[in-house]
Amino acid sequence: KAAGRGRVTVFDEEMLSDKRYRRLVERELRAAIYLGELELHYQPIVGTEGSIDALEGLIRWRHPVRGLISPAEFIPIAERSTLIDMIGEWVFKRACADIGHFPGQRISINVSGEQLKRDEIVTMCDRILRETGRSASGFIIEITETVATAATPEILRRLEALRGLGFHIALDDFGTGHCGFNYLKTLPIDSVKIDRSYIRSLAHDQVAQIFVSALAQIARIQDITIVAEGVETAEEFALARTAGCSRFQGYFFGKPAPRDKTSVLCAADGQP
């Protein structure tokens, strides 16, 4: 049952290839939205001095029987249908409601590549901003490197449109796919998040150090912010800083937590 470090698989991966089982999970997930079983937790992203720059919203499913389910388990299932659009809408609405609890802070949300395949992403974001009276400049949209490298002209147009609304765009999991440095020039992005596998390697791998430093130098010219993901130790923080990263995220600074536990964390940081 345990797949990898500390991960318990709730849904039977083999059974997910079965259409009937998948339908069942999809139905449960759809119901979860209405039953209020989804939660958006927040993890701080800090600057070089350790003050909070933004909070990344990370979804969880509090299943009454199966317990707290990781997004890694149910997002891929949702991505197989338009359920991902419903979840994406729920996430952005939740973030718009929660941002009032974090004065002066921005919220970073994850947008699935599947959502970017449809024009609704732009109209949905625009509509929710108007409904909630929030400003797009309070939000960062994270897209994965895989999406960026396979971006069609339509996807690029949608990213530009979202940016036009005032959202910042972040390229997530950089280094896991085959993103070349040229993407920093061609993609409409404001920041790049270096995957935690690189941060983990900094201590013992010179190639990783050079990779991150080079990325940071190019990013500086392009006016792109570099975020180090998965920083777990003081050493990793120091190494990422030396390599040129200017934002940091990871268990060393704080684990994802429910909204009301996150605000305590901001207060402890001296933020209002």
Structure tokens belonging to residue 94 = 């939740």
Under the criterion CB under 6 A, does residue 80 sit at the interface with ligand C2E?
no
Name which position in 53, 85, 98, 142 contacts Ca ion (CB under 5 A): 142
Which of 198, 266, 270, 268 shows the shortest CA–CA distance to 45? Answer: 266
Instruction: Give phi and psi for 141, each to the nearest 5.
Output: -105, 120
167 and 139 Cβ atoms separated by less than 8 Å: yes
Name which position in 28, 53, 145, 172 contacts Ca ion (CB under 5 A): 172
Structure tokens belonging to residue 24 = 């069942």
Name which position in 214, 251, 258, 267 contacts ligand C2E (CB under 6 A): 251
Query: In whole angstroms, how close is the CB of 237 to ligand C2E at the nearest point?
Result: 11
Structure tokens belonging to residue 61 = 């499913």
Nearer to ligand C2E, 98 or 173 (CB): 173
Under the criterion CB under 5 A, does residue 145 sit at the interface with Ca ion?
no
Name which position in 44, 138, 175, 230 contacts ligand C2E (CB under 6 A): 230
Binding mask 41-70 for ligand C2E (x = CB under 6 A): --x--------------xx----------x
Quote the DSSP letter at residue 110: E
Stretch that binds Ca ion, among 73-81, 222-230, 252-260, 264-272 (CB under 5 A): 222-230
178 and 170 Cβ atoms separated by less than 8 Å: no
Name which position in 168, 173, 216, 237 contacts ligand C2E (CB under 6 A): 173
Structure tokens belonging to residue 260 = 């009301």
Name which position in 24, 72, 238, 267 contacts ligand C2E (CB under 6 A): 72
Structure tokens belonging to residue 198 = 């690189």
Nearer to Ca ion, 89 or 172 (CB): 172
Structure tokens belonging to residue 29 = 């997930």
Q: How many CA atoms lie within 13 A of 244 on its CB side?
A: 19
CA 160 – CA 139 distance, rounded (Å): 15
C-alpha 212 chain-centroid distance? 20
Name which position in 44, 138, 175, 256 contacts ligand C2E (CB under 6 A): 256
Under the criterion CB under 6 A, does residue 91 sit at the interface with ligand C2E?
yes
Q: What is the 3-state secondary structure (H, E, C) of 41-93?
A: EEEEEEECCCCEEEEEEEEEEEECCCEEECHHHHHHHHCCCCHHHHHHHHHHH
The residue whose two tokens read 């993890």 is 43
**Binding partner of residue 175 among ligand C2E, Ca ion, none, CB under 5 to 8 Å per kind?**
none
Under the criterion CB under 5 A, does residue 249 sit at the interface with Ca ion?
no
Under the criterion CB under 5 A, does residue 173 sit at the interface with Ca ion?
yes
Under the criterion CB under 6 A, does residue 245 sit at the interface with ligand C2E?
no
Give residues in contact with Ca ion (CB under 5 A): 110, 142, 172-173, 229
Give residues in contact with ligand C2E (CB under 6 A): 43, 58-59, 70-72, 75, 91, 110, 112, 172-173, 196, 230-232, 250-251, 256
